[in-house]
Structure 1
Amino acid sequence: MPIQQLPDTLVNQIAAGEVVERPASVVKELVENALDAGARRIDIDLEEGGVRLIRIRDDGIGIAAGELPLAVARHATSKIASLDDLETVATLGFRGEALPSIASVSRFSLGSRRQGDDHGAALSVDGGRIGEVAPKPLPPGTTVEVRDLFYNVPARRKFLRKERTELGHIEEWLRSLALARPDVELRVSHNGKPSRRYRSSGTALDRDGFALARLGETLGEDFGRQALRVDHAAAGLRLHGWIAQPAYSRASADQQYLYVNGRAVRDRSVAHAVRQAYADVLFHGRHPAYVLFLELDPARVDVNVHPAKHEVRFRDARLVHDFVYRTLHDSLADTRAGNAPLVDAVSTQAAVARELAGTGPGGTHGMQAGFGLRVDEARAGYAALHGAGIDATTGSGQYDALPQGADGDVPPLGYALAQLHGIYILSQTADGLVVVDMHAAHERIGYERLKAAHDAAGLRTQPLLVPQAVAVSEREAGVAEREAGTLAELGFEVTRSGHQSLLLRSVPALLADGDAEALLRDVLADLSEHGESRRVRAARDELLSTMACHAAVRANRRLTLPEMNSLLRQMEATERSGQCNHGRPTWARFPLPEIDRWFLRGR
């Protein structure tokens, strides 16, 4: 077949294959255009999950009648005029491909009226064939109708899912938008019935904070109760938003929202940084929940790397990864027991605790009765745990359950009343009751002390008696050669001995008895993909966690009131003490009004 120029209609249909995946893709493109036009209210009318009809009406600045044909022409846009504009684009849309692509695979109409114009104008496009512009009475703003999506591309239409599935994709995208733009009112109807309304908060998402009402409206009250505020800036980067307490974890990554300069995106490097930050506090197999906004100079991020603009490319991905990790790691370190959001009798944290209780290595069902604090048995390895032992000498020997005085004098975890079944500590606080899992709490205290001791001593390396040859790919060999300094900081002395071979001469001393070759390969993979690796620290922490677990106080160990109160005070002072080493919660609070409701007091 000879080379020939493709007709415009076919070109647009090919482009539609990249931009228009399903009805949710159409909603995304049209709503983003409305936002770029300054809309503060957007009405979205759908039929049959958006396959039959998508109508988007906004109150934005509108389009001049003479520009309507240009709006449905390829690569026609008001948002950029030069390559320099593309380098620093701040609008959600910019390519000028969405409208012509959508119009080529649907029965399409576009109507608009600018503020101050006597009337509006509209034109229709049927399968890519553009009609004439005609006057039409319209309110200020723009209305776009997309009917019978993919009616002329049956091969694409047959891949659409059921109505409920397609509607679910639209609702999820709108939920993501609602989190980012609490200043915009969104009204959604489906098959002629109102289905969702996100009221405007009246203020834009700015540097002063986030609309908490919209957070609870989109992700639920449980997320709002368990959310930690994050706001940190450094090196020209700012990360702000909300991350959920580790105890509010998910079975899937369904509540993870990342925005870069206001644009909802997916980024593997940032997702990896978040997982690393949660690695020390999250139960195995669970996923963190977060709504995070990353802001940086538009020139430092390329948004023109994906047809549907789902992904971005950072100029310095390594810096971004480390910034996100460090910010969240430090925020989670402050989740000391007593400082966490309220956990009541019906909260998500309590539900997760019931789900996970007894399933981890530190679970209460696996505790051995009568096994006490015997740190001296492994003095060399567990020396750092002495500081985490329960000190029976603290306190006066006789405690009032709750000392007299102002409520402000009561510590966050209150004062111990008794033990329950040899497993839990019951403590009275200024506003209710706290229940502490003593093994889980003591395990975290010991673990944090072990980590601090090893960090203070510095990383020790152990030379191998006989250097070990390691076969790798040529790419891995190149990474090892280029990152030799980084590997040395992690405890590996590695030299390249061939195109696809390395010579391993020393390893981290604490991990010398493990599979050093496998660990090295994992580190090289991380360095190649993310520019950094925390595999060595993770392997070390896993070993220290096991040591702390074996040394922690066990079930049925009878504690005195001074011992219990000593444990409570150490929890309040220890980082991450809201969870044990395996991600289980260490404590729960029951406020007095909730207890009153149990017994119908005040009714």
Structure 2
Amino acid sequence: MGKIRILPDLLASKIAAGEVVERPASVVKELVENALDAGSRRIQIEVELGGKRLVRVTDDGEGMTRDDALLAFERHATSKIAALEDLERIATLGFRGEALPSIAAVARVLLRTKTAAELVGTEVEIEGGKIKEVRDCAWAGGTEVCVRDLFFNVPARRKFLKSEATEVFHITNLVTHYALCYPQVAFRLQHGGRTLLDVTPVEAVRDRAYQIFGADFLAHVVELEHAQEGIRIHGFASKPNWGRTTREAQYFFVNGRYVRDRVLAQALGESYRTLLPSGTHPAAILFVELPPSEVDVNVHPAKIEVRFRRPLQVQAAIIEAVRRALERARPVVEIGRAVPFARERASAVRSERALHREALRLQAPLTPATPRQSPLALTFSPKSAPEAARPHPEASPDRPPISPQCLARPSLEATVEGEEAERIRVIGQFRRSFILAATERELLLIDQHAAHERILFERFRERLAREALPTQPILVPEVIELTPAQHAIFESVREELGRLGIEVGEFSGRALVVTALPTDVPVSEARPFILELLEIAEQERRTASPERLRDRLAASLACRAAVKINTPLTEPMMQWLVEELFRASFPASCPHGRPVVVRFTLREIERLFHR
């Protein structure tokens, strides 16, 4: 007897379902696409326990007859294509006839549907791929698919699902994509009875972007509209001074289909190659329209990958569309003002600002200080420096020096210990950003911001392991409107934010009210600080490591609280920074990996003078 055998239909269905149904978001995707193909104008999605317990999608589309409702659960049964040639001109989101049978094979499914011509609806109940019952039902019209207990019969797949918060994020992100692509359709997404997204029909993508992302997004993007070689590109792309640390704010659509495609992502990145710093990515809502025969959507059963017949031409069209839009929106620059993210190599001050998201602003000093400058400090003061060596125009303006009490808050005071710290003598400050110090045989150049950042980071991290950080109430609470995806992330890290000293209440919808901040963060930075923390949490959600997330949150707080560049420091202040830095566990680098200290040995200095 041979070894090769034909698999039972039920087993084959479960295997095939693995390609289509990866997680609850896959179920939502297939059901939403079916609803859109049915001409729906209103789609409601309800999920429970991240979609593991329940996914319910209800639409007001054309519905199905009883015969069609039964055939819909047969593999490779579809109304969207009939011949091989139809694959060359697919205009619908679904066409394989695999979605419903794949979902039904690994879940308990209840379908209710009715066409406008019928008097009663049809209800079909399926469990694990087997039809349990078919009956008449009272139904207004359209279709509702209720999917319960996903992977109940495939425990190996169920245990690989992520946390509830992660699955909700994927679902929210997916629905956001379709809401952007179909602005004329109303979408409502609810999780556990709570509304995460609720948008009414509008005419234009701009209006839908406003509904989801708010006015701040539209203020930082330019509109795209370009066509060449039969390829039309339209949508929105961010201005060069509004970069993101991840690509999560990039939304790509091809002929009305949400896709993840490297060709499109590379083209968008190339458009900003000389405009954004390394590690920074643009935000974009990008629509590509071209003849159906020019793109293959039958690459993978999930239909989220595509293959272009002319990928280079598609990339060229995107690059041209983005660059033309950015040129049209280029602001008039005053003479003597620096251009954000200029093509030339950025100065050290500008790089610092880019690294810390334009947030290098100084808190008001608690007490005034009148530093006693050493001769070297006077020699390198900004007033005596040549014009070319003056601080960058975009750096922080002149501010009064801050006192040691402002930098060394009571909770962070420490006595001077350690032989190495005692041997280091502060000489002065260079360009209000770097501390010059010396030992008997070395000259040290210390980045004051990075040094303070390292000191605060280690103390914040140590304290967070034991208790929550102290807070400062906000007299006028800050209201922050979040996107659906940001709100899902917030729910997953609410406890960690509380430990960080952030107190947040619900306002309405996706709006948050910040009522308290860590004592080291200025109230003026509440909004960028919260959004930065959510972006960090989104990046770390794949690692599932609370310690790593806590470290990154502590690093962000340390960056906000640390003394900024272009800030005059008193001599006691500089001495305090140096002493505390060399008591830190890793004084050589800041929490983000940048060097803190540059050393010049006596021998290296002597060589410079040919001694």
Distance 1:372 1:193 in 2: 59
The yes-or-no answer on 1:65 pairing with 2:66 is: yes
Give SS of 1:337's match: coil
CA deviation vs aligned residue, 1:334-387 (integer Å, no higher than 9, x gap): 3422399xxxxxxxxxxxx99942869xx999998744579xxxxxxxxxxxxx
Query: For the Cα contact (< 8 Å) 2:350–2:394, is it kept in 1?
Result: no
Query: For the Cα contact (< 8 Å) 2:107–2:152, is it kept in 1?
Result: yes
Distance 1:224 1:321 in 2: 24
| Correspondent of 2:265 among 251, 265, 271 | 271
> C-alpha displacement at 1:421, in angstroms?
8.2
Distance 1:22 1:358 in 2: 37
Partner of 2:109: 108
CA deviation vs aligned residue, 1:97-141 (integer Å, no higher than 9, x gap): 010000000011212100021010111111011234211111110
Distance 1:317 1:148 in 2: 41
Distance 1:240 1:367 in 2: 51
| Correspondent of 1:295 among 276, 289, 292 | 289
Query: For the Cα contact (< 8 Å) 2:46–2:189, is it kept in 1?
Result: yes
Give SS of 1:108's match: strand
TM-score by length of 2: 0.56
Partner of 2:468: none
Distance 1:179 1:24 in 2: 17
Aligned partner of 2:140: which letter?
A: P
CA deviation vs aligned residue, 1:3-29 (integer Å, no higher than 9, x gap): 222122111111111010100000000
Distance 1:187 1:87 in 2: 33
Equivalent runs, 1:150-161 vs 2, <5 Å: 150-161=151-162
Give SS of 1:308's match: coil
TM-score by length of 1: 0.56
Q: How many residues are matched?
A: 361
Distance 1:216 1:259 in 2: 18
Give SS of 1:253's match: coil
Distance 1:257 1:160 in 2: 24
The yes-or-no answer on 1:237 pairing with 2:231 is: yes
The yes-or-no answer on 1:423 pairing with 2:393 is: yes
Partner of 1:357: 353
Distance 1:367 1:291 in 2: 47
Distance 1:272 1:162 in 2: 31
Partner of 2:90: 89
Give SS of 2:243's match: coil
Distance 1:18 1:358 in 2: 41
Residue identity (%): 45
Aligned partner of 1:246: which letter?
A: P
Give SS of 1:24's match: helix
Give SS of 1:336's match: coil
Distance 2:381 2:191 in 1: 54
| Correspondent of 2:211 among 195, 209, 217 | 217
Residues 358, 79 of structure 1: alpha-carbon distance in 2 compared, 3 angstrom cutoff:
closer
Give SS of 1:159's match: coil
Distance 2:158 2:355 in 1: 46
Partner of 1:28: 29
The yes-or-no answer on 1:254 pairing with 2:248 is: yes
The yes-or-no answer on 1:142 pairing with 2:112 is: no
CA deviation vs aligned residue, 1:202-230 (integer Å, no higher than 9, x gap): x3xxxxxx332321232343221111011
> C-alpha displacement at 1:194, in angstroms?
3.3
Partner of 1:186: 187
Q: Which moved more, 1:71-80 or 1:302-311?
A: 302-311
Aligned partner of 1:76: which letter?
A: A
Structure 2: state its 5+ residue gaps.
Answer: 335-348, 362-379, 397-565, 567-611
Partner of 1:51: 52
Distance 1:152 1:358 in 2: 50
> C-alpha displacement at 1:254, in angstroms?
1.1
Partner of 2:528: none
CA RMSD in angstroms, aligned pairs only:
2.9
Equivalent runs, 1:337-416 vs 2, <5 Å: 337-338=331-332, 356-357=352-353, 370-372=385-387
Equivalent runs, 1:204-603 vs 2, <5 Å: 210-338=204-332, 356-357=352-353, 370-372=385-387, 423=393
> C-alpha displacement at 1:319, in angstroms?
1.1
Distance 1:109 1:261 in 2: 31
Partner of 1:512: none
Partner of 1:39: 40
Query: For the Cα contact (< 8 Å) 1:223–1:248, is it kept in 2?
Result: no
Query: For the Cα contact (< 8 Å) 2:34–2:93, is it kept in 1?
Result: yes
CA deviation vs aligned residue, 1:218-267 (integer Å, no higher than 9, x gap): 23432211110110111111000000111111011110011000101111
Query: For the Cα contact (< 8 Å) 1:219–1:255, is it kept in 2?
Result: no
Query: For the Cα contact (< 8 Å) 1:107–1:146, is it kept in 2?
Result: yes
Equivalent runs, 1:8-19 vs 2, <5 Å: 8-19=9-20
Distance 1:75 1:119 in 2: 27
